[in-house]
Structure 1
Amino acid sequence: MTTAFYPGSFDPMTNGHLDVLIQALNVADHVIVGIGVHPGKAPMFSFEERSDLIRLALEEALPDRRDALAVVSFDNLVVDAARSHGARLLIRGLRDGTDLDYEMQMVGMNAQMAPDVQTVFLPAATASRPITATLVRQIASMGGDVRPFVPKAVLDALTKKLKR
C-alpha cells in the first residue's frame, strides 16, 4: 500500500488544496494530510477545525475515499513527519513557475536528508492557480465573497467565524 504525506497549513483549506488532495488519492492508496503547527503563528482556525474541514471537504467531493485519508499535526521537518507516518511519497501542489522554483530547492534539500522519500508534484487545476489561503482569509475578513475559492464546509466555517 502506498502512503503519501501532503503537508501544509490549510488555514483554511481551499479548492486548490482539495484539487491536489484528490489527485494525491489517485496516486497513493492512503494520504496523510499533515497540518504544520507553529507555536509562533496564530492561525485563523485551530488544528481541530482545520482537520474537520479537510475531512468534510473530502467527504463531499469523494465520499468513497474518506477511509483513505488521515489528518495529523506536525511541528518538525516535513521529511521527518512523512517518515514517522510511514509515507514514502511527499505531495506538493504547483500553481506556477514560482512554486516550481521554490519546490525544486526543497526537493534537493529533502533528498539529501531523506533519500527514501520521493517528492511528487501535482499541478493545480487552472481555476485553482490564483487561490491562496492567505488571500482567502483576507478577502473573507473584508466581507468579500470567497465561494469560488473554498469548499462549502470552509465557506460555512468562515461565515460563522467572521460573523459581524
Structure 2
Amino acid sequence: MQRICLFPGSFDPITKGHVDIINRSIALFDKLVIGVGVNSGKQPMFQPEQRVEWIREIFKDDARIEVAAYEGLTVNFCKKINARFILRGVRYVSDFEYEKAIADMNRMLEPGLETVFLTSSPEFSTVSSTLVRDVIRNGGNVNMFIPEEVKW
C-alpha cells in the first residue's frame, strides 16, 4: 500500500519553514499532497489559486509532491486522496499542544489516520505565515522568509 501523506495548511504565503518541513519529510512517504486549506471564515491575503501555483512551482521537479486546494474537514480530504498520514510542523511547545488536540480529534473522526510531527529547523522556528503577512502589510522586506518563487 502506498504511503500517502497530507500536509495541510493555509500557506498564506508558503514560507521557507514550510519548504524545510516538506523537504525533510518527503523521504518518509511515497507521495506528499500539500493541501491548501480554504476556510470561508477567514479572509486570506493571497487567493488559494495563487498559493497552489507558488507551491507547484517550488516543487515542480519532484513527482512525489502534489498540490491541491480543499475545503471542509481535513479527514474527509484525506479519505478522498487515500492519505493515511497527516504531516504537521511544530515550532514550539505551544504548537505541539494545539496540534496534538487536532491530531486526537482527527484520529477519533477517522481511526487509523496518523499524524506525524516534525520540529522546525532552528533557523525557521520564528517564521510563520502570520508574521510574514504582518511584515508585508507594513511594507517590510520578507525575502529572507519566503521562497524566491513567491511573488505578487
SS in 2 for 1:147: coil
Q: Following the alignment from structure 1 to structure 2, what is the Cα–Cα distance between the partners of residues 117 and 22?
A: 22
Correspondence 1:124 to 2:123: no
Identity %: 34
The whole-number CA distance in structure 1 between the counterparts of 2:33 and 2:118 is 16
Matched, 1:45 2:41: no
For 2:44 and 2:22, how far apart are their aligned partners in 1? 21
Shift in Å, 1:43: 1.4
Letter in structure 1 aligned against 2:54: L
For the residues of structure 1 that align with 2:22 and 2:78, how far apart are their CA atoms? 16
Does residue 140 (structure 1) correspond to residue 136 (structure 2)? The answer is: yes
Is 1:93 the equivalent of 2:89?
yes
Deviation of 1:42 after TM superposition, in Å, equals: 2.2
- In 2, distance between residues paired with 1:151 and 1:34? 18
TM normalised by structure 1 equals: 0.87
Ranges in structure 1 where 5+ consecutive residues have no aligned partner: none
Aligned length: 151
Equivalent pair of 1:4/1:24 in contact (CA under 8 Å) = no
**Match for residue 18 of structure 1?**
19
Q: CA RMSD in A?
A: 1.2
Question: Relative to total residues, which structure has the larger helix share, 1 or 2?
Answer: 1
